[in-house]
Amino acid sequence: MLENKDESRSPLSDIGEFKLINHLTKQVKLHHKSTIKGVGDDCAVISYKEKQTLVTTDLLIEGVHFDLSYMPLKHLGYKAVMVNLSDVYAMNGIAKQITVSIAVSNRFPVEALEELYAGIHLACKMYQVDLVGGDTTSSTKGMLISVTAIGDVEQKDVVYRNGAKPNDLLVVTGDLGAAYLGFQILEREKQVFEVNPNAQPELENYTYLVERQLKPEARKDVVKILKELEVKPTSMIDISDGLSSEILHLCQQSKVGCQLYENKIPLDQQVISTCEELNLDSTTIALNGGEDYELLFTINQEDYDKIKGNPNFTVIGFITPEKEGAHLITRANQKIEIIAQGWNAMEK
Amino acid sequence: MLENKDESRSPLSDIGEFKLINHLTKQVKLHHKSTIKGVGDDCAVISYKEKQTLVTTDLLIEGVHFDLSYMPLKHLGYKAVMVNLSDVYAMNGIAKQITVSIAVSNRFPVEALEELYAGIHLACKMYQVDLVGGDTTSSTKGMLISVTAIGDVEQKDVVYRNGAKPNDLLVVTGDLGAAYLGFQILEREKQVFEVNPNAQPELENYTYLVERQLKPEARKDVVKILKELEVKPTSMIDISDGLSSEILHLCQQSKVGCQLYENKIPLDQQVISTCEELNLDSTTIALNGGEDYELLFTINQEDYDKIKGNPNFTVIGFITPEKEGAHLITRANQKIEIIAQGWNAMEK
């Protein structure tokens, strides 16, 4: 599908860089008054007045972060935007603009880039974000995407990683482990397909897992819900690199420790059943799998009543003084030190 | 030098991503009050108050944009920053922050990244820019660098590409063609070296050309000089992709034509002598060579006295109504239509 063996496809060399960028961005509709000038000059121009600007950037590389044999290009474009928006929401901000730089080798026809941009444009529409610039170039091998997201936040609302205090509650959004298992399932189906190209993928029992891997959603809603509930977290962090490593970042930056309860970690039913099937420990997956674009935050205990019972949030532990360290309390009531494993250690 | 055959070098796998970023950015000193929070959280936080924010991004890829066989890593880091700052200055703004994302394959030791960052840090120091974030990841092949620059400008001072009016003067900064010739000379020396590894490079007659290729400087000074002279250009554009293609962008966006005088195009003496030696047409090189990080701008004729005789600026032509098209007036007084060739057409 992706390689340019079909002569009806348009080779990239038929179209210059300037025309290609025009072609891929002509449908951009701007959502924000703050976007004074988008694509088409040396820089985008943005006007934030009294708010603070947030900037974050991520790089996704074929063969390292994604595998085009099961990642449709439209989904890849969508996901590349989510990865960055998630970091803006983790500061309690609203993402307003993105720039997208792409390098592709000649094996990709123009239509492949159109698919990729379809996902980027969809993400921009769904999350009300303006695409304001970027760079498109050739690569000697494969595809890579570099996205920078820009957002804003009132100075009084910005939430850093370093504000957690002892006795604060540790709260996580959504559920954990599904995106990693989705990856495992897709890898398994890929191997089946390589042995038998006529095999149909069997994904019906794993729909949630595969969706979490291929079409993650950043938690824009969490920023809105927290505002409505009048809860300002004392600290917050995106946990797409894995809960255990990110809890440790938060504790280190806040100079605190924590106790995390294994039996409180939110798991979807498909995560539990698939872990049983694959003989994997669901807690290990939830702690270290990564790629769940969820947020971890801490709140003052006084705010507990405001979030209690909200289906978006699960209290998974509490903050302790630094000298007590960071620990997981297991179902068997054992106390185990939390060690960063994160994304790399899972050998993805 | 670059590949990790020396066992005294530190392999990248010995150091995690988080530690690596910490290691490479620990020496960052922030220059701007507007940089509220730099490296170390989900986003950088920037506060611009009443100014407008400028954002630009560029991607540099090994084997496409640079060749490590003659581009020292420190120079590469410096140049990657310049490429982006130049776009901010082309809006008449001041660059304040950058993010840097880097992907490298395992063939690079930690020391190679330190060299690269030494160039990035030097550029930040020389140009008073704060490194506020980024991403470091592995690649399956080679090295790539994605830089995003963020700057600011008073609303009344911002200069777009679309403001040129008929009878405005067309002005270029510095001189043109040297960076492209520097590339040709380095390529020639590389080929000599491949035939005879004991050959010493002969670069003494080409020092300016090689410096323009390996250590370009963005024209921050031009923004300052224009302010001091009380000249606000009617339009401005970075011409690192080549004078001819960028003149056409400016004309298209401003809906004007232009007349450019061949005998006015500023050339360094080394450009003239090297073109003679290599039997190249210096005008073609100046028009299409690219990689000169100079600015092209237009001014109202009333401002001519303010820039007259300033060694930084050369008036190379004037703006005409759109229907008259974009032309070069040759030394022989012939009128030739300007056609975009730019960087790619030179087969770099």
CB contact under 8 A, A46 and B58: no
Closest Cβ–Cβ partner in B37, B44, B56 for A42: B56
Query: Residues of A with CB below 8 A from B19's CB?
Result: none
Percent of all residues in chain A with a pLDDT value above 90, rounded to a whole number: 72
- Quick one: pLDDT at residue A344? 42
Q: Indicate which CATH number applies to the domain containing A275.
A: 3.90.650.10
B194/B323 same-domain check: yes
- Taking a contact as any Cβ pair under 8 Å apart, which residues of chain A between 277 and 306 contact chain B? none
Q: How many domains does chain B have?
A: 2
pTM for this one? 0.90
Query: Which residue has tokens 């606000």?
Result: B232
Do B161 and A53 make contact, defined as CB atoms within 8 angstroms? no
10 Å CB burial of residue B325 (0-12, 13-18, 19+) is middle
* Dihedral Cα A236, A241, A243, A248, nearest 10 deg: -70
Cβ distance of A42 and B344 shorter than 8 Å? no
Say whether pLDDT at B116 is over 80.
Answer: yes
| Pair (A148, A230) in one structural domain | no
Could you say which residues from 45 to 104 on chain B have a Cβ atom under 8 Å away from some Cβ of chain A?
45-50, 52-59, 61-65, 86-88, 90-91, 93, 97, 99, 101-103
- Residue ranges with strand state E in B141-279: 143-153, 169-173, 235-238, 256-261
Average confidence (pLDDT) over A156-165: 95
Shortest CB distance from B48 goes to which of A48, A63, A153? A48
Using CA atoms, how far apart are residues A147 and A129, in angstroms rounded to an integer? 13
pLDDT digits (tens, 9 = 90+) for A239-288: 999 999 999 999 999 999 999 999 999 999 999 999 999 999 999 999 99
A173 and A113 in one domain?
no
Question: What local confidence, expressed as pLDDT, does residue B24 receive?
Answer: 79
**CB contacts, 8 Å: B150 with chain A:** 53, 55, 150
Residue B41 inside a domain? The answer is yes
Co-location of B127 and B202 in the same domain: no
Q: Domain limits at A22?
A: 12-156
Same domain for B124 and B177: no
pLDDT of residue A2: 45
Q: The domain that contains B91 carries what CATH number?
A: 3.30.1330.10
Statement: residue B299 has pLDDT above 90: yes
Query: B45 and B74: one domain?
Result: yes
Q: Does residue A164 lie within any of the structural domains? A: no
- A44 and B52 within 8 Å at the Cβ level: the answer is no
pLDDT at A325: 96
Q: Please say whether the beta carbons of A289 and A181 come within 8 A.
A: yes
Q: Output the CA angle B34-B36-B39, nearest 5 degrees.
A: 115
pLDDT digits (tens, 9 = 90+) for A109-119: 889 999 999 99
pLDDT at B341: 67
